[in-house]
Amino acid sequence: MDAVFALVDCENFYVSCERVFDPSLRDVPMVVLSNNDGCIIARSAAVKDAGVPMGAPYFQWAETLDAMGTAVRSSNYALYGDMSRRVMTELEAEALRLERYSIDEAFLTLPALAPDALRRQARRIQRRVRRRQGVPIRVGIGPTKTLAKVADERAKGHDGRYVCPTGDALAAVLRTLPVGEVWGIGPAYSSLLAEHGVTTAEGLRQCPDAWLRKHLTVVGLRVATELRGTPCLELEDAPAPRKSMIRSRSFSGRLYALGDLREAVATHAQRAAEKLRAEELVAGRLGVFVTTKKFGDPPHYSNAAGAPLRPATNQTPTLLDVAGTLLRAVYRDGPAYKKAGVRLQALRPEGTGQGHLFREDTDEDEALMAAVDRLNREMGRGTVGFAAAGVAGRRDWTMKREMRSPHYTTRWADLPEARA
DNA sequence: TCTGGGGTCCTAGGACCC
DNA sequence: TCTGGGGTCCTAGGACCC
């Protein structure tokens, strides 16, 4: 059966999640902040209308937002992750196939019905998610993923649903779409295209293949081909195995001493190792990076180093050891460090690939890790840890998250109460 | 004073091998 | 003075995404 793509996008997702559980937020402008309460990463309609851009630093807009009576929340990823799963379950019931594209977006395939029937189906999906989970969504439908994305953009002015037209009507739509708003065309490709006189999606569609291939790599060629209506990107309903994992945080203040950075890096390494074991993976490579702030006056300093792990492992002591060595290699005395992190790469499932002739993880190692994980799972994160990561409570580099909402759906103590 | 975090894919170039 | 050619693997860096 012929199928079309639909992109479903949750409107102002984090804001919408907060509003589901706190009705007093529904009629006021609202934003949700990134970690460290640094950037604005979700905005209600009123805040968007006021011209506050996505990703803007909060401190630059705090006064404006306050004057509007804006409610402000720190991000609560436990809540958003759980709400995302609920929404995806609803969408699954309405789709032929579904790909979870991000926490707040999914690609669906739908039977290739006439446009009117597709619009009705889009409306049904919107109502279902709204009624059962309280989250408003938009639905954009087209013959390729990229055109479904275009349709999703257009849906903003059309009750949150839009079916991509064909022929001249499509060309007319694409002529009004700035090329930088096309999925896959970022700032660098945008300005490169502009230098060659291409400023709209329609212009991109008409670029010669060879030129695209040369200047925008196969990525750009695929985008253009998809805009022409020929699918290049499949629906990925089986999630691809993860290839890398990053754990990092900005510090709420600045750090100078190697000892402080060592605690931060060790904490990230420890968390990454736990996550690795939870997903039954081992890492074949470990990287450590440090950086000073990105903005303001130079000098800035950032550095990174990596090393292979032989054999690939998920054992905390090994990762702490290697991370410590790499940190000494990237650390310089002097810079005001703002961020540090750990990256695990070359991930593969436990028990696959080559072992190591002289250094196998022993049963005792694995038993120890299993015991640590169980204690932390059952008694709360941080119950047992490694000394290298420092002692919770006396760390002075942990992040700021001063306005977080309760864990409504994932912690018993935070469950909302209903009163008659 | 205050600017997030976590991913993927593609390409070029070096190391290494025969 | 003369100094091959082709293949694979790995890594770093750039670009993009939400």
Return the pLDDT at A353: 64
Burial class of residue A321 (count of CB atoms within 10 Å of its CB; 0-12, 13-18, 19+)? middle
Return the pLDDT at A365: 72
The whole-model pTM stands at 0.92
A163 token code pair: 């079916």
**pLDDT category of residue A408 using cuts at 50, 70 and 90:** confident
Average pLDDT estimate for A14-31: 96
Which bases of strand C sit closer than 7 A to a protein CB? 10-18
Name the percent of chain A lying above pLDDT 70.
Answer: 91
User: Nearest nt (C1') to A250 (CA)?
Assistant: B4
* Pairwise pLDDT comparison (A36 vs A104), residue with the higher score: A104
Closest CA to the C1' of C18: that residue is A102
Return the pLDDT at A393: 46
Burial class of residue A195 (count of CB atoms within 10 Å of its CB; 0-12, 13-18, 19+)? exposed
Task: Give the torsion sign (CA, A30, A33, A38, A41).
Answer: negative
A61 touches strand C (CB under 7 A): no
Which bases of strand B sit closer than 7 A to a protein CB? 1-11
A348 touches strand C (CB under 7 A): no
Return the pLDDT at A182: 98
Cβ atoms of A5 and A101 closer than 8 Å: no
Closest CA to the C1' of C14: that residue is A188
The most confident of A306-320, A344-358, A367-381, by mean pLDDT:
A306-320
Return the pLDDT at A15: 98
**pLDDT category of residue A357 using cuts at 50, 70 and 90:** very low
Q: What is the pLDDT of residues A117-138, one digit of tens each?
A: 999 999 999 999 999 999 999 9
Is the pLDDT confidence value at A419 over 90? no
Q: What is the pLDDT of residues A162-196, one digit of tens each?
A: 999 999 999 999 999 999 999 999 999 999 999 99
Task: Give the torsion sign (CA, A254, A260, A262, A265).
Answer: negative
Q: Tell me how long chain A is.
A: 420
Is the pLDDT confidence value at A334 over 60? yes
Q: What is the pLDDT of residues A23-55, one digit of tens each?
A: 999 999 999 999 888 999 999 999 999 999 999
Average pLDDT estimate for A359-365: 62
Average pLDDT estimate for A328-354: 90
Q: Of A265, A250, A247, A248, whose CA–CA distance to A38 is shortest?
A: A250
Return the pLDDT at A251: 92
CA distances from A397 to A65, A349, A400 (A): 28, 33, 9
Average pLDDT estimate for A217-239: 96
Q: What is the pLDDT of residues A381-406, one digit of tens each?
A: 677 777 677 655 455 566 566 677 87
Return the pLDDT at A238: 93
* Pairwise pLDDT comparison (A358 vs A141), residue with the higher score: A141
